[in-house]
Amino acid sequence: MSDFDSNPFADPDLNNPFKDPSVTQVTRNVPPGLDEYNPFSDSRTKEEPGEENAPFWYAHIVISDHKGTQPAPGNVKMPNVPSTQPAIMKPTEEPPPYTQIAKEHALAQAELLKRQEELERKAAELDRREREMQNLSQHGRKNNWPPLPGNFPVGPCFYQDFSVDIPVEFQKTVKIMYYLWMFHTVTLFLNIFGCLAWFCVDATRGVDFGLSILWFLLFTPCSFVCWYRPLYGAFRSDSSFRFFVFFFVYICQFAVHVLQAAGFHNWGNCGWISSLTGLNKSIPVGIMMIIIAALFTASAVISLVMFKKVHGLYRTTGASFEKAQQEFASGVMSNKTVQTAAANAASTAATSAAQNAFKGNQI
């Protein structure tokens, strides 16, 4: 029915939006060349100056030249893209054959080998100590110090083995004390020759020469028995009583070192005072005595240092004066001689008491 209501004489494009004059005016004024532009066309215009640097994605469309001329529609200029190859960087120098990683690996491997050797050495040491302990348990301890030949009339008097008796953490300290005792012994032996040389240049120094021999014969065994063996036994059995014996005797030993380094006249020591006196008599003898005085001084200094070190180790072992008293009491009471003497005294006291009681009853 809508067809019957329409006007057959009306303009058909009256209500068409695409026939609006403003739209048709815009569509008619299209710039020349754009309506026939084909981006896929192979036709290209002649390159103009400066266009060789245009990017490869840029399509230059020439609409008009400076003189107002218009190119043919569809002439599109595409830049020539040169063929390129991927960049390959050549190393300026060859890498070193021994890199840091290889070095660290070698160091780690060397450290592992070192630890393995140390563990093997400790295992061998423990094996040796175990065999020695088994041997000692079967045959008992056999004295090995001093190391004397078998045909010597006097045999060894002590048993000494640092690896068996002394714990590992204390072995170094005990060895240093043993070497210190040997050093002092050698110094006393040289002191005899120094006093002898002093006696040769000064006949009034016979007393010093005689006393130097006495000090060597006296201090050598006494220092070994009185302070070194207590120290050895203290670290071997963790004995508080032996520690206190060592401290008491070693303080006296340090005083002896100081007096020997001083070198008073008629004391039998080539100390600093005696050395200066001997230097006035003879320069060679004085130099010899000065060397011995320096050895006595070194003994005194090392003794003081080692005393402090041993005292520090003593405090870490847990020893105390109360333990020393208990060890002394138990040691005295366990001694067979003391037990026999105590039994005899008790029996004598009981007999006398019984006799007195019997006599009182008779009265």
Distance CA 289, CA 276 (A): 8
Q: How many helices (H) and strands (E) does the chain have?
A: 12, 2
pTM higher than 0.85: no
In a domain, 284, yes or no: yes
The answer to whether residues 177 and 302 belong to one domain is yes
In a domain, 304, yes or no: yes
The answer to whether residues 173 and 287 belong to one domain is yes
Q: Is the pLDDT of residue 243 over 80?
A: yes
Structure confidence by residue, pLDDT tens digits, 115-150: 888 888 878 777 777 776 676 666 667 888 888 887
In a domain, 57, yes or no: yes
Query: Which of 58, 79, 100 is the last residue before a domain boundary?
Result: 79
In a domain, 101, yes or no: no
Structure confidence by residue, pLDDT tens digits, 270-282: 999 999 988 888 9
Structural tokens at position 285: 């003898």
Quote the pLDDT of residue 231: 93
Structure confidence by residue, pLDDT tens digits, 8-38: 665 666 666 666 666 666 566 555 555 555 6
In a domain, 240, yes or no: yes
The answer to whether residues 176 and 314 belong to one domain is yes
At 39, the pLDDT band (50, 70, 90 cuts) reads low
Q: Which candidate, 263, 224, 240, places its Cα nearest to that of 315?
A: 240
Structure confidence by residue, pLDDT tens digits, 170-209: 899 999 999 999 999 999 999 999 999 999 998 888 999 9
Provide the residue range defining the domain that includes 21.
Answer: 10-79
Distance CA 144, CA 120 (A): 28
In a domain, 356, yes or no: no
Mean pLDDT, the chain, integer: 75
* Residue with the larger pLDDT of the pair 213 and 70: 213
* Number of domain units in the chain: 2
In a domain, 332, yes or no: yes
